[in-house]
A = this chain, B = another copy of it.
Amino acid sequence: MRVGVLTGGGDCPGLNAVIRAIVRKGVQEYGYDFIGFRDGWRGPLEGETVPLSIPAVRGILPRGGTILGSSRTNPLTTEHGVRRIKGNLAKYEVDALVTIGGEDTLGVAATLSDEYGIPCVGVPKTIDNDLSATDYTFGFDTAVGIATEAIDRLHTTAESHMRVLVVEVMGRHAGWIALHSGLAGGANVILIPEQRFDIDQVCAWVTSRFRASYAPIVVVAEGAMPAEGKMILKDESHDSFGHVRLSGVGEWLAKEIERRTGKEARTTVLGHVQRGGTPSAFDRWLATRFGLHAIEAVRDGDCGVMVALRGTDIVRVPIADATARLKTVDPTLYAEVGVFFG
């Protein structure tokens, strides 16, 4: 029995922990052979492989990123994509494929499994925590931890100068990182993509915080939008060199707040720091358990499924369930934390 492994989409702390668990258990308990495919679906598409064995996965548990590389290549939109993948899996005598990825990567796995009979087992990965059918995805806890530490640091510099600090965190379609890090960091305003914000309300919270002699921290997900729909995100303008320049919601907010409240405001865009580096203990635990259960699903011949967290248990769900719709922040939950605003 030979098992292929690939990692697709944006990188995420914990990917290496999954790979290590799969290989370790597969080799030791089931006597499987392994082969790694490079750069997501590009690997099986182009037949680019790397050896995977117990020595190859030693020491990778605490390392961020993925030893297999990643890409956003989609074989379903590539000419003869499925045929080429089938050819390469046959060539390398791969009996099953563990695909670790987000919505896109897993969507391909579901199609290949369900429609083309390629035996795929999925492992959910998204730093944004917006995959349905699992309580949490690994990488999310690490990102929240990094954002929270940044917010902790920004409080003191905000207080010293009595200025507003706007922190833009990841989250294009779902506000999980903003919600968790904002709550954990004691933010005074948290804005998420799920609910358009009222800039007047934001300014009212900011002003109320200053009235209590404190400096406000505003945490905003990159995908959050004002209610009036006036802000054009990621619009194109050109700098003096003709380069396109992006304007983010964080920068926009700082300026609007300054203009409306008369208070100095500054923006920090956390960016890629949120997705790099060593995974938190929670993410190493979750990623490792996902890996152990994924290879169990392979052994059971249970294809087209994805491993998922339910409470403290790892369960199996159809991949399609996870990719069917985005898991967004429930309005009730958002309302619950509103008691800390202002």
Interface size range on A against B: 35 or more
A255-311 residues with Cβ-Cβ distance < 8 A to B are 255-256, 266-273, 275-278, 280-282, 284-285, 288-289, 292, 310-311
Number of copies: 4
Docked Cα-Cα span, A162 to B144, in Å, equals 24
Q: Which of A58, A271, A336 has the most CB of B within 10 A?
A: A271
Min distance, Cβ A150 to any Cβ of chain B, angstroms: 5
Please encode chain A, from 44 to 83, with 1 for each CB lying within 8 Å of some chain B CB and 0 for all others.
0000000000000011011111100111000000000000
Docked Cα-Cα span, A232 to B245, in Å, equals 14
**Which of B245, B267, B281 makes the CB contact (< 8 A) with A181?**
B281
**CB nearest neighbor in B for A235:** B240
The segment from A95-103, A105-113, A151-159, A316-324 found at the interface with B is A151-159
* A340 touching B24 in the complex, CB below 8 Å, given contacts A157-B275, A161-B70, A251-B245: yes
Min distance, Cβ A10 to any Cβ of chain B, angstroms: 8
Min distance, Cβ A233 to any Cβ of chain B, angstroms: 10
Q: Which of A28, A63, A155 has the most CB of B within 10 A?
A: A155
* A231 touching B241 in the complex, CB below 8 Å, given contacts A11-B157, A165-B272, A186-B61: yes
Besides A11-B161, A183-B288, 11 other CB < 8 A contacts?
A: A58-B214, A144-B281, A153-B272, A165-B272, A232-B239, A232-B240, A239-B247, A243-B252, A245-B251, A266-B271, A267-B271
